[in-house]
A = this chain, B = another copy of it.
Amino acid sequence: MRGNMKAYQEMSREELQTLRELLTAEYEDAKKKGLKLDMSRGKPAVAQLDMGNDFLDALNTDSPLKAQDGVDVRNYGDMDGIPEAKKLMGDIMGVPAENVVVCGNASLTIMYDTVSRSVTHGVLGSTPWCKLDKVKFLCPAPGYDRHFAITQHFGIEMITVPMTPQGPDMDMVEKLTAEDDSIKGIWCVPKYSNPQGYTYSEETVRRFANLKPAAQDFRIYWDNAYAVHDLYEDRRDELAEILSLCAEAGNPDMVYEFCSTSKISYAGSGISAVAASKANLDEIRKSMKIQTIGHDKVNQLRHVRYFRDINGIREHMKKHAAWMRPKFDAVLKVLDEELSGLGIGEWTRPNGGYFISFEAMDGCAKAIVAKCKEAGMVLTGAGATYPYGEDPKDSNIRIAPSFPTPEEMTKAAALFVLCVKLVSVEKLLEEKK
């Protein structure tokens, strides 16, 4: 199909029928190849993990095991994190160590626990959400399915806010939060957003910091998951630092920022952190004291010993980028070559993060994902990037290139564009009936 630049919409019924036959034959061949590819999640590749295996040597029998403040990391103490880990995680987020609490192996857990605590205990003295008739969250979409799963789990009503390349539609965010005091939060992946790879503009971040929410217990859930996950050395996005902007705007308590090393060291064996105002952190520490005897400080120290500081992290992430870039480039090359000008899809070209977002023709996403699956490639479920798993236009597909090799990725992308074409042709023929 290469080189066919005529937009599908402009084709006659006959042309489309001929095309369908060709594509169907091609698809049947593809199915016979018995592909087995998983691009369902932003899962690190084996090679990427292997690269960091000396991480396990960062602590051994002979290592001094005291934190900077003299606390033995093998024992109880330093419940909210060892000082050097606070500094490291703070540097990743661009905030002072004193605004950081270091937690367990997943920032998702901090987010869940933060919502859970708000449900049972309220937020800095507000009514616990379980005592309210209605609690709502704003959900910029397409977005991260696991965010939406948390709010859904707690019966929180989700309102979709459209995404733009500059971030969420801030007119809508400002209007809704100002009017409705049952809106208690908004989910954000502000840098290299999941799945589009957009980074919120400075204006967007400033507008966030200057929100005037009707609800005193409204919080921005700022999931800075890809803070240091640049793909290219020559072009990288910069994200304005929201904690200081909130403080300047007189809204010091309005934001919780989250980050982790899940996609820096090991997925599932990293460390995570939350950054917030002193008042927010004190409330978090109050619950933590009941919930835990402290998180894994040995692993905190292992991270600090291995990465040393933010420069060590940046050097390490350059190696990551070198692994990730060819996969992104492989997908983009195929998309560009095969779909440009056909009018049946658009895609993002992120400077970092873990995903490429694909917009199919309306009503085609589910069918494309199903076609891919039939031929052996698992994608993130269509709709997953929207609240309740329901993409109103059935058009968004998240592509996660991290796990396959670049060679697999080229094959996967070829299959993907084939399925996009076939489903689009069928859709157009359906419409022309």
Contacts and interface: CB of A to CB of B under 8 A. Distances in A.
A116 interface: yes
A75 interface: yes
Interface string A201-233: 000000000000000000000000000000000
Interface in A110-154: 112-113, 116, 119-120, 128, 130-131, 146, 149-150, 153-154
A333 interface: no
A319 interface: no
A41 B76 contact: yes
B76 A43 contact: yes
Interface residues of A, number: 54
A284 to B, nearest CB: 13
A214 to B, nearest CB: 24
A209 to B, nearest CB: 29
A292 B178 CA distance: 32
Contact of A153 (B63, B112, B116, B290): B290
Interface string A90-120: 0000000000000011101100110010011
A27 to B, nearest CB: 30
Contacts of A149: 289-290
B41 A108 contact: no
A330 to B, nearest CB: 21
B60 A57 contact: yes
Interface in A244-294: 262, 266-269, 287, 289-294
Interface string A74-85: 111000000000
Given A56-B59, A56-B61, A57-B61, A75 B268 contact: yes
B292 A74 contact: no
B120 A154 contact: yes
A297 B106 CA distance: 12
B150 A73 contact: no
A44 interface: yes
Contacts of A289: 149
A72 B153 CA distance: 29
A106 B293 contact: yes
Interface stretch (A46-54, A191-199, A338-346, A380-388): A46-54
A56 B290 CA distance: 28
Contacts of A43: 75-76
Contact of A74 (B49, B106, B290): B49
Contact of A63 (B56, B60, B75): B56
B76 A292 contact: no
Contacts of A294: 106, 268
Given A56-B61, A150-B290, A269 B74 contact: yes
A182 interface: no
Nearest to A260: B293
A295 interface: yes
B291 A108 contact: yes
B57 A53 contact: no
Contacts of A105: 104, 292, 295-296
A310 interface: no
Contact of A266 (B49, B75, B266): B75
A268 B290 contact: no
A39 to B, nearest CB: 13
A290 B120 contact: no
Interface in A20-46: 41, 43-44, 46
Contacts of A73: 268-269
10 contacts: A44-B74, A46-B72, A57-B61, A75-B268, A105-B295, A130-B130, A146-B293, A149-B290, A269-B298, A269-B299
